[in-house]
Amino acid sequence: SAIRPHTIFISVMLAQNETGILQPVGDIGALLEEVNRRRKKESLPDILFHTDAAQAIGKVKIDVNALKVDYLSIAGHKFYGPRSGALYFRESKPLYPFILGAGQERGYRSGTPNVCMIAGLGTAASLVIEGLDGFQRSMRESRDYLEKKLQDAFGSKVSFNHRKGAAALPNTCSVSFKGMNGPDILCKAKFVQASTGAACHHTAEPSEVLLNSGVPADSARGTLRLSVGRNTSHADIDLAVRLLQDAVALLQKPGN
C-alpha cells in the first residue's frame, strides 16, 4: 500500500541494527516481482530493490537470489574485515558512478583502487563462508548466556526487545532497564563497550524504532544494545554483567 506510481526505488535493512530483528526482505522482493509485472503492463518503470546488509553480514547466511534484491551493500568492519565496503548489483540493473574521472573499477568508481582494503574485505568474506555455521552457534550461545545472566541479575527490572523465536541475529541483545536512562548506565559501567542505540541515529530521545515496536517510553530510554562476538567468553559476560550491576546500584543510591 506504500507503493505509488512514482515509486522507483525501495531500500530495506536486512537486519535491524538496534534490535537485531531480521526483516522479511525475501518476501518483500517476491512481492515487488509481482508488482513490477503489473507495472510493466501499465508502462510504469520497474521498482529497484536494495537491502542494507551491513549488520547481517558475517552473522547470518546471505543469498542475493533468495532475497530477490537488485542491490546489496555491506560494511567490512561488521565481519572482522577492514573499514571498507562493497556493493553487489545485478548486471541487468542500472548502476551509475558518483566519482567520475579516469574510469577505474570498470568505470564505476574512479581513483586508484585500494588494493589492501579490497584484498582484506575479500579474505574476511572467505572466512565467513568457511566458518559461518560455527560462528553462528558460538555467538548464539553467548548471546543466550548473556540474556540469562542479565535476567538472573536484574529480574523484573529488565526486559528484552525481541520475541522469543523471532528471526534475529545471533549476537545482538537489546535490553531495557525500566525507569532508567541508558546513557547514565553506560557512563557508570566502566570498561563495558556498548551503545544506547544506532550510532548513525543517536539522539537523547528514546529510539523511534523501539517506540514503534511497542516498547514503553520509560523502558526505551533505558535501553542498551549489547553485542557478543565470535570469541566472547562466559568470563567476559560475567564481568560485563557485574559491571552493569555496579552501575545500576550506584545510580539507584539516594541523591543520584
* Residues catalogued as catalytic: 200
Residue 237 near residue 147, CB atoms below 8 Å: no
- Strand positions, DSSP E, 196-248: 223-227
Beta bridge partners of 11: 50
Residue 82 near residue 120, CB atoms below 8 Å: yes
Residue 141 near residue 149, CB atoms below 8 Å: no
Q: Dihedrals φ, ψ of 210, to 5°?
A: -70, -45
156: which 3 cell numbers?
523484573
User: What Rg do the C-alpha atoms of the chain give, in angstroms?
Assistant: 21
Q: Dihedral of the CA atoms 183, 236, 128, 27 (nearest 10)?
A: -50
Residue among 202, 192, 190, 181 nearest 256 (CA): 181
Residue type, 235: A
CA-to-CA dists, residue 225 to 2, 8, 175, angstroms: 30, 34, 7
Q: Hey, how many other C-beta atoms are within 10 angstroms of the C-beta on 131?
A: 13
Give the 3-state secondary structure of residue 142: helix
